Chains A and B, each alone.
Chain A
Amino acid sequence: MRINYPGTIRIIRLPCTGKVDVIHILRAFEKGADGVYVVGCLEGECRFSNGNLRAKKRIEQAQQILDAIGIGGERAQMYNLSSADGPRFAEYAVEMTEKIKKLGPNPLKKAKEKMAA
């Protein structure tokens, strides 16, 4: 379908969102990512039965930690769609990009700049 979406995202492939670990998400923020989102099958339609529901819980957990440490839980998101839903994939990319732009860069970047100054 070749629908344009913002060039802000880089995809990391996993067999199932059930494989996404809280540590993967936190590490990305530690290394300076401004946002992380996980895209899985629609709820109830997981290829591996319930991996996406487990991922959802882990994202929520990661959000709590991110809130607690001041990075902000909103920077981590979970989306669900079917593999035939290209337009929605693009919509989510736009939505996430806009959200992150509003939130600004990862606070760790500012902290680092301050320290350098």
Chain B
Amino acid sequence: MESIEGEPGDFKVTLTSYPRYIDPIKCTGCGECAKRCPVTAINMYNLGLDDRKATYIEYPQAVPLAFAIDIDTCIGCGLCEMMCLAKAINYEDNEKKSTICVGAVILSPGSEGFDPSGMDVLGYGKFANVVTSEEFERILSASGPYRGHLMRTLDREAPKKIAWIQCVGSRDVNLCGNGYCSSVCCMYAVKEAMIAKEHSHDDLDCAIFNMDIRSFGKDYEKYYNRAKDEHGVRFIKSRVHTINEDSTTGDLVIRYTDESGQTNEETFSMVVLSVGLQIPESVTALARRLDIELNNYNFAVTDPFAPVNSSRPGIFVSGVFQGPKDIPGSVTEASAAACAAGTKLAEARGTDTKTIEIPAEIDVLETETRIGVFVCNCGINIAGVVDVPAVADYAATLPYVVFVDQNLFTCSQDTQDKMKEVIKENNLNRVVVASCTPRTHEPLFQETLQACGLNKYLFEMANIRDQDSWVHANDPEAATEKAKDLVRMAVARAGLLKPLKEKKISINRRALVIGGGVAGMNAALGLADQGFDVVIVEKEAQLGGLSRDLTVTIEGADIQRYLLELVDRVTGHEKIQVLTESLIVGFSGFKGNFTTEIMVGPGMYERKIDHGVVILATGANEYKPEEYLYGQDYRVVTQIELGKRLEVKGADDISKVVMIQCVGSRNEKNQNCSRVCCQSAVKNALHIKEFNPDAEIYILYRDMRMYGLLEDYYTEARQQGIIFSRFSQDNPPNVEATDEGIAVTFKDHILQRDISITADLLALSAGMVAEDTEELASILKLPRNEEGYFIEAHVKLRPVDLANEGVFLCGTAHSPKLISEAISQALAAASRATIFLSQSEITLSAVTARVDPDLCAACLVCVRACPYEVPRINEEGVSEIDVALCHGCGICAAECPAKAIELDWYEDDQVMSKVEALLEGVL
């Protein structure tokens, strides 16, 4: 991206496309060019641990899956050009400039791993068995340089002991200037240790050298505990001094200082440096060109209350460019940026849409079955191994086959046009393509059928490339026989295929938001600003939720002022209706068409609301401690109470404060970390210092989890003389009330002896507890975890969706989080909901289960087996499956003892036809 000119809503973006030298549209991804290429180049995707050719695809999942020439290593021999049957090679390709007009821009340029080459003491680049975590990730990967076998780089021996060194390139102002915490390294180190143990054939010893373990994400603490307690991963609180190599064995000696200040040495077979995330130079240059303001670490500057807005209006940011974060956070933020951008573009929605005209469907059920088989050569990908003419001849002998052809590339535009003519000319009503894989090409061929008036489910594919020629290249005869088998099986199934109707359902374009806190209100605004009607249901008399008790963010932003503005915007919005003192008592329907019954207070009259989506924003509360004299002595308060007190009374009257972390978190009752309490403590401590610089403040902690940019405040707190002392879970501080104050006794980890402080005030960093949603969850049939937080459909891929379609999740109803994170997630939920609400109707997959009422005995097996609770016993006393709710897995069909359930497109006779065709004549 060269430049962005213009105003929000009307940007002109100038792009430079670098030459690939292979046309990605013509390239079929066959790989002949790479196979013939005589040049060996270093494979940077595997971080230099193996080689590739000068013609290459960067990695197997690349999009587009097309080759390119690495011109720096290419010797211009011309072999690939000669080999390429698709004529995709173009040595004359050059740089192209283009401009596009857009209304908004989202920047997600990402980060790079820190390069530890400059840190001499760690020996990276000097000792072969010291690798970065990125390299280790590739070593563990099945598609990596060692094919997933755990080996050392020096001698390809299986390591017996591996050490991870945390915070390399993070939390380190002296050696690299990256004062922030990269947020992800603790968890990836734990994960790498667990996977390494899994991959190892022996009892692998894994040790993680760390300052704090920051497993602050949802359920991360449980994973950390499992690694520690069940899998024996060792966690060593330490600072690493130097790493040296034993030159005879290649083993590495780590010299480190432990918490008591003692220096120790331990030998490992391999060392992994857990490198942090940083913004690459190319990205800072991009930000400079686009006039985007960056902070001192080169992350984009954003406001706590507008976390995806860059300094330049109309340009939004997401991912690590916004600040260090993990995958769920990045995916969430990406959706949030899409919402923020979409809000500004709502008017233009759908104006550039093109619709494809599909001719009316031909009735095929009453006509004789006429199957056409198209066998693909895929250049020489298939034809180089499989005898394609023999397969085509064989196909012609199969029952109902009336037409057979073979093509160089069946997927090419001209072959597709020819195929359409052939289908019409020969009145084909079932089509089999024997070629690559349905994974990439099934939709394309189905479109071709539709263009000929054939139902798209009358199509079947025989996978003779990915499952045959590619994997049996060394045995052409067997591959040809297998291709014939696969074609015979495909033809057998094709003969039994029936046209299926994809049901369309209309969408009610109104949203119901449950919970009127910061998350709920932001989700509501995210939708209402795009023109959708929203109803907010709040059980309290006022909007705001937990944030009504909060004062400022750690950055100093005024939460109450923000809340006031937010409530004003929500209540004044013509598209938003707010129901306070309201309770949900009934819920029915499916995605796009829900009905919710609500008792609306204070009169408690009943209202029914029809809506298309639900956004859950039920929130969480501060834990009410039962520990450390809370509720028994007025001098013991929670962090939220302390925050309010500082706002009202300041801190002139307090000279000694002790804070205890992890109260109500990371214990047996609540295993998880509450994420926000470390920063609450530091925030309040700094605030006290502001009022009263002489105040003595002690923060007693287990791990300080000041992730991301919060680390700066932790550094600041230490510089201001706030004392941090670690305690272990089995030896918590002892608290006693005396006339002079609250006496807190704890064992200092450096001095290794008990210290007693008599404080004016004891602040407990009480964790977060999910709002009680037991009844709501049972009415809406939604899953919650042990701690009462709702469970998302997929932690990384669908972090704000629930498995129940049309239901989305945000804020602390998902897990504890900061206000800015809750806002991001709220916008993300609104964005995901928009996908539904922006359409007037949605097309459902036709691959759904169907009950034959005559066979159903209402035994309830399907009702119990369905992972989504879809089957129900209807008025006629038989099971009924709503196609709008069915996910199409077929579990019910397999479980049904009466065989009353069929999964369309995978009907039992269709599946069995393949088995029978394969084994024809064996007995």
* Contacts from A to B (Cβ < 8 Å): 1-5, 7, 10-16, 18-21, 23-24, 27-28, 31-33, 47-51, 54, 58, 84-88, 90, 108-109, 112
Pairwise interchain contact B467-A31, C-beta atoms closer than 8 A: no
Bound-state CA distance A15–B640 (Å) is 50
| B479 on interface, CB distance cutoff 8 Å | yes
- The answer to whether residues A15 and B903 also contact, given A7-B472, A20-B894, A31-B916 and a CB cut-off of 8 A, is yes
A23: chain B residues within 8 A (beta carbon): 908
Pairwise interchain contact B919-A28, C-beta atoms closer than 8 A: yes
State the Cβ distance, A97 to closest chain B Cβ, in Å.
12
Bound-state CA distance A27–B485 (Å) is 18
Contact of A18 among B463, B889, B911 (CB under 8 A): B889
Q: Mark B849-877, 1 if CB is under 8 A from A, else 0.
A: 00000000000000001011000000000
Pairwise interchain contact B894-A49, C-beta atoms closer than 8 A: no
Bound-state CA distance A98–B147 (Å) is 22
| B176 on interface, CB distance cutoff 8 Å | no
- The answer to whether residues A7 and B915 also contact, given A48-B889, A86-B142, A109-B922 and a CB cut-off of 8 A, is no
| B38 on interface, CB distance cutoff 8 Å | no
Pairwise interchain contact B919-A19, C-beta atoms closer than 8 A: no
Bound-state CA distance A110–B474 (Å) is 31
4 closest residue pairs by CB, A with B? A19-B890, A32-B922, A49-B867, A48-B889
Contact of B463 among A11, A19, A58, A109 (CB under 8 A): A11
| B110 on interface, CB distance cutoff 8 Å | no
A18: chain B residues within 8 A (beta carbon): 889-891, 894
Bound-state CA distance A74–B887 (Å) is 32
B489: chain A residues within 8 A (beta carbon): 10, 12
State the Cβ distance, A12 to closest chain B Cβ, in Å.
5
Pairwise interchain contact B923-A108, C-beta atoms closer than 8 A: yes
Contact of A21 among B142, B143, B438, B894 (CB under 8 A): B894
Contact of A1 among B143, B481, B482 (CB under 8 A): B143
State the Cβ distance, B147 to closest chain A Cβ, in Å.
5
Instruction: Please name 28 pairs of A and B residues whose Cβ atoms are closer than 8 Å in the assembled complex, sorted by A.
Output: A2-B31, A2-B473, A7-B472, A7-B481, A13-B438, A14-B911, A16-B890, A16-B891, A18-B889, A18-B894, A19-B894, A19-B903, A19-B911, A27-B912, A28-B915, A32-B922, A33-B915, A33-B918, A33-B919, A48-B887, A48-B891, A49-B867, A51-B867, A54-B865, A86-B143, A87-B147, A90-B471, A112-B923
Bound-state CA distance A90–B434 (Å) is 22
Pairwise interchain contact B923-A15, C-beta atoms closer than 8 A: no
Across the interface, name the chain A residue whose C-beta is closest to B849.
A19
State the Cβ distance, A6 to closest chain B Cβ, in Å.
8
A54: chain B residues within 8 A (beta carbon): 865, 891, 894-895
Bound-state CA distance A7–B478 (Å) is 7
| B470 on interface, CB distance cutoff 8 Å | yes
| B286 on interface, CB distance cutoff 8 Å | no
Pairwise interchain contact B889-A19, C-beta atoms closer than 8 A: yes
Interface size class of B (residues with CB under 8 A): 35 or more
B868: chain A residues within 8 A (beta carbon): 49
State the Cβ distance, B90 to closest chain A Cβ, in Å.
26
B479: chain A residues within 8 A (beta carbon): 7
Pairwise interchain contact B919-A4, C-beta atoms closer than 8 A: no
Across the interface, name the chain A residue whose C-beta is closest to B912.
A27
Contact of B142 among A20, A87, A109 (CB under 8 A): A87
| B893 on interface, CB distance cutoff 8 Å | yes
A88: chain B residues within 8 A (beta carbon): 142, 148
Pairwise interchain contact A49-B803, C-beta atoms closer than 8 A: yes
A24: chain B residues within 8 A (beta carbon): 908, 911-912, 915
Pairwise interchain contact A50-B867, C-beta atoms closer than 8 A: yes
Pairwise interchain contact A12-B911, C-beta atoms closer than 8 A: yes
A58: chain B residues within 8 A (beta carbon): 894
B903: chain A residues within 8 A (beta carbon): 15, 19
| B675 on interface, CB distance cutoff 8 Å | no
- The CB with the most chain A CB atoms within 10 A, among B481, B482, B803, B912, is that of B912
Instruction: Known A-B contacts: A12-B914, A54-B895. Give 10 more (CB < 8 A).
Output: A5-B472, A7-B479, A10-B482, A10-B486, A15-B888, A19-B889, A19-B894, A33-B915, A48-B889, A87-B142
State the Cβ distance, B477 to closest chain A Cβ, in Å.
9
State the Cβ distance, A105 to closest chain B Cβ, in Å.
10
State the Cβ distance, B125 to closest chain A Cβ, in Å.
29
Contact of B889 among A1, A51, A84, A85 (CB under 8 A): A51
Across the interface, name the chain A residue whose C-beta is closest to B31.
A2
Across the interface, name the chain A residue whose C-beta is closest to B465.
A2
Across the interface, name the chain A residue whose C-beta is closest to B908.
A21
Bound-state CA distance A47–B868 (Å) is 12
Contact of A87 among B148, B481, B867, B895 (CB under 8 A): B148
Pairwise interchain contact B803-A10, C-beta atoms closer than 8 A: no
Across the interface, name the chain A residue whose C-beta is closest to B793.
A49
State the Cβ distance, B50 to closest chain A Cβ, in Å.
13
Bound-state CA distance A38–B147 (Å) is 23
B471: chain A residues within 8 A (beta carbon): 2-5, 90
B895: chain A residues within 8 A (beta carbon): 54
| B475 on interface, CB distance cutoff 8 Å | yes
- The CB with the most chain A CB atoms within 10 A, among B142, B438, B467, B479, is that of B142
Pairwise interchain contact A4-B474, C-beta atoms closer than 8 A: yes
State the Cβ distance, A86 to closest chain B Cβ, in Å.
6
- The answer to whether residues A32 and B888 also contact, given A4-B472, A7-B479, A13-B438 and a CB cut-off of 8 A, is no
| B906 on interface, CB distance cutoff 8 Å | yes
A19: chain B residues within 8 A (beta carbon): 889-891, 893-894, 903, 906, 911
A21: chain B residues within 8 A (beta carbon): 893-894, 908
- The answer to whether residues A10 and B911 also contact, given A18-B890, A58-B894 and a CB cut-off of 8 A, is no
Pairwise interchain contact A12-B889, C-beta atoms closer than 8 A: no
B890: chain A residues within 8 A (beta carbon): 14-16, 18-19, 51
Across the interface, name the chain A residue whose C-beta is closest to B889.
A48
B485: chain A residues within 8 A (beta carbon): 10
Across the interface, name the chain B residue whose C-beta is closest to A30.
B923
| B884 on interface, CB distance cutoff 8 Å | no
Q: Mark B139-151, 1 if CB is under 8 A from A, else 0.
A: 0011100011000
Pairwise interchain contact A84-B143, C-beta atoms closer than 8 A: yes
State the Cβ distance, A49 to closest chain B Cβ, in Å.
4
Across the interface, name the chain A residue whose C-beta is closest to B468.
A7
Q: Mark B729-761, 1 if CB is under 8 A from A, else 0.
A: 000000000000000000000000000000000
Contact of B923 among A4, A12, A31 (CB under 8 A): A31
Bound-state CA distance A12–B492 (Å) is 12
Bound-state CA distance A58–B470 (Å) is 32
| B579 on interface, CB distance cutoff 8 Å | no
Across the interface, name the chain A residue whose C-beta is closest to B911.
A24
Bound-state CA distance A19–B908 (Å) is 10
| B359 on interface, CB distance cutoff 8 Å | no
| B60 on interface, CB distance cutoff 8 Å | yes
Across the interface, name the chain B residue whose C-beta is closest to A24.
B911
State the Cβ distance, A69 to closest chain B Cβ, in Å.
15
- The answer to whether residues A31 and B915 also contact, given A7-B478, A54-B865 and a CB cut-off of 8 A, is yes
Bound-state CA distance A15–B489 (Å) is 17
State the Cβ distance, B473 to closest chain A Cβ, in Å.
7
Pairwise interchain contact B867-A31, C-beta atoms closer than 8 A: no
Bound-state CA distance A5–B914 (Å) is 22
| B847 on interface, CB distance cutoff 8 Å | yes
Pairwise interchain contact B915-A27, C-beta atoms closer than 8 A: yes
Bound-state CA distance A31–B492 (Å) is 16
Chain B, range 85-144, C-beta contacts under 8 Å to A? 141-143
Bound-state CA distance A84–B803 (Å) is 23
A50: chain B residues within 8 A (beta carbon): 867, 891
A16: chain B residues within 8 A (beta carbon): 889-891
Pairwise interchain contact B142-A32, C-beta atoms closer than 8 A: no
Across the interface, name the chain B residue whose C-beta is closest to A3.
B471
Q: Mark B883-906, 1 if CB is under 8 A from A, else 0.
A: 000011111011100000001001
A10: chain B residues within 8 A (beta carbon): 482, 485-486, 489, 918
State the Cβ distance, B787 to closest chain A Cβ, in Å.
19
B911: chain A residues within 8 A (beta carbon): 12, 14, 19, 24
Across the interface, name the chain A residue whose C-beta is closest to B485.
A10
Across the interface, name the chain B residue whose C-beta is closest to A47.
B889
